[in-house]
Amino acid sequence: MLYENTIWLGSSSKAVCLLPEMANRHGLITGATGTGKTVTLQVLAEGFSSMGVPVFLADVKGDLSGMVKMGENTPKISDRLAQCGVPSFQFRSFPAIFWDVYGEQGHPVRATVSQMGPVLLGRMLGLNDTQSGVLNIVFRIADHENMLLLDIKDLKAMLKYVGEHAKDYTLEYGNVSTASIGAIQRAVAVLEDQGGDRFFGEPALNMDDWMGVDEDGRGNVNILAADRLFRNPTMYSTFLLWLLSELYERLPEAGDLAKPRMVFFFDEAHLLFNNCTKSLLEKVEQVVRLIRSKGVGIFFISQSPSDIPMTVLGQLGNRIQHALRAYTPLDQKAVKVAAQTFRANPSFDTEAAIQALQTGEALISLLDSKGAPAIVERAKILPPQSYIGAVDEGVRQTCIETSPYYGIYEQVLDRVSAYEMLESDMESFIPGELSDMPSLVYNPDAASPVSDETESLVYAPDPVLPVQETAAPVSAPAPSAPHGFMIYDPKTGGYVKQEIPALEVKPFVNTSPAPAQAPVLQVQEPTAAAVTEGTEMPVLIYDSASGQYVQKMVRMVRDPATGKLVPVQPENAAAVNPKAAAAAAKEAEKERKAAEKAEKDRIAEERRKRAEELREERAERARKNDSLIGRIQNTAISTATREVTRQITRGILGGISGILGTKKK
């Protein structure tokens, strides 16, 4: 709830408010289970959203989904509002957008393997130092070989490739042991079973989509459904660390702002630092230190301040401490440490108060306008304006389908990347669709090769036989054999006859650079299947670009009526060469998906532009309000409003008193 351009968090002897310009100094919300941490988080998120600041929430228990629904008045809420001295309170819903790594309870959240990087990926896989070093080599090789690592199958294919060619890379990159490769592959298989195959891929998350506002200028509340992700603590914590590092790299420097660009709330924050290596902990500390200058605020939520490393804890200026239980000596020590982190209040004992706090109460110490910690206050937390608790699946699904990002992330993209490059045959001649083009095929009834201008030819997925670019025109006489064809002879500089005693021809597979002399084809006796299914034969195909005939491998069949060799016809091309037909269908599907993505990107860009316009309008209004005239006007309006309210209240109370007095008489 907003109060005089601040977030009204709770009340003690006075209103305890968080200054928006101090929100990017980060904060900490701690307390035992069931003491009200989630409600405190919800109140803060509502305040930031009302200011036009986008928010990210990791919803571990599922009860933060209630922010999409208007709150309901209950006796407990009415009593709390009276205790906090709230004069007026409005229940309302907030523009929540649901996200889910698994794509079940929100828009899918994805990242590419390259974006995650070897350091965070090694932590996600639970690798030791040696295995992490090998994984780093795999990333470097993929980068130098221009192979994209987008999804899990790309990573698996790259690990296999490096393992098979380990000796070739040892001198340049260092030793790559097959044992380490095998250990990484086993860890990748475990990650894949835990849902990593859904997280890694495209389209990857665009962080700009998390920084939008709605039509009323309120910041979007991005809720990550983490109830299932939380069951895999390593993946959960690594994902949150990736979010921080990705946001830090994307945002430009902003300095001190009147309010943050975005605020992150990380629930169960202790998981971020469990089993965290020294290098990774230093990186997290660096991000927490420097992301403030990018205009981003971070709030960690955990049960005890001791869950956060001291180097990170020292960067958290705003503290909200709910009750702690001191049933063991270790718990008593944690209570004492928590009390010593606050600026003492002479009116009560901080250590004793931490153990005596009721549900919904907290010790609060926030930064003042000069950046200094305020004296700790024992305050009652305000109730949220939205619904407390989880919403049903119907409400969630409706919110997902009406989201401005619906349809953008639901469609999976699969570009050509390391897997496709390594698993393919690296063919120089790629299967394509049927096309009509002039070809030069031997006609046994004629005396020389003739041009056929109308035959539809299917390109076979075999390499093209090398032909010299300076080949002489076809001038040799036709071969006398009934199944002959013309082949280039570099010795004579022309095409010479090549007699084949039978139909079956084993196609030449070119795995090396073109030799100076055309290869000699191997000949076998035909089989019954070859006569009906066809075989690959070299023919001369007219190239319209160069105006010359070039040699290609074309699938030919024997015409049962005439006994002659003819190219495969379009009607039976798919049956003879299903690989070519499948490739053509896949290419058409890619073009369709690309067109759909382009349209979705256009719609998303329009929405982002509209959000930017709204943001500029709000900024202009804020500048006007911050001016001297604006402040005078606001003060005058507030004074007049209070006076009118006071007069109305007196009139109502006077009328009630008169009615009661009349009844008594």
**Per-residue model confidence as pLDDT tens digits over 343-365:** 899 999 999 999 999 999 999 99
**Per-residue model confidence as pLDDT tens digits over 401-455:** 999 999 889 888 888 899 988 887 444 333 333 333 344 444 444 444 443 433 3
User: pLDDT-derived band of residue 282, with 50, 70 and 90 as boundaries?
Assistant: confident
User: pLDDT-derived band of residue 578, with 50, 70 and 90 as boundaries?
Assistant: low
- Residue 378's pLDDT is 94
Task: Say yes or no to pLDDT of 182 above 90.
Answer: yes
Distance CA 213, CA 630 (A): 24
Q: How confident is the model over 114-126, as a mean pLDDT?
A: 90
Task: Say yes or no to pLDDT of 223 above 60.
Answer: yes
% of the chain exceeding 90 in pLDDT: 35
> Residue 518 gets which letter from DSSP?
P
Distance CA 134, CA 188 (A): 14
Predicted structure pTM score: 0.63
The answer to whether 135 and 118 are in contact (CB under 8 A) is yes
Task: Say yes or no to pLDDT of 535 above 80.
Answer: no
Distance CA 147, CA 577 (A): 29
User: pLDDT-derived band of residue 489, with 50, 70 and 90 as boundaries?
Assistant: low
**Per-residue model confidence as pLDDT tens digits over 236-254:** 888 888 888 888 888 888 8
Q: Residue 661: CB partners within 8 Å, gap ≥ 6?
A: none
Which range of 412-416, 482-486, 655-659 scores highest in mean pLDDT? It is 412-416
User: pLDDT-derived band of residue 550, with 50, 70 and 90 as boundaries?
Assistant: low
User: pLDDT-derived band of residue 496, with 50, 70 and 90 as boundaries?
Assistant: low
**Per-residue model confidence as pLDDT tens digits over 298-312:** 999 998 888 888 888
Higher pLDDT, 527 or 407: 407
- Residue 350's pLDDT is 92
Tokens of 660: 């009661």
- Residue 3's pLDDT is 85
SS3 of residue 207 by DSSP: helix
Q: Which long-range contacts (CB under 8 A, 24 or more apart) does 369-373 make?
A: 369/19, 369/21, 369/22, 371/22, 371/25, 371/317, 373/317, 373/319, 373/342, 373/343
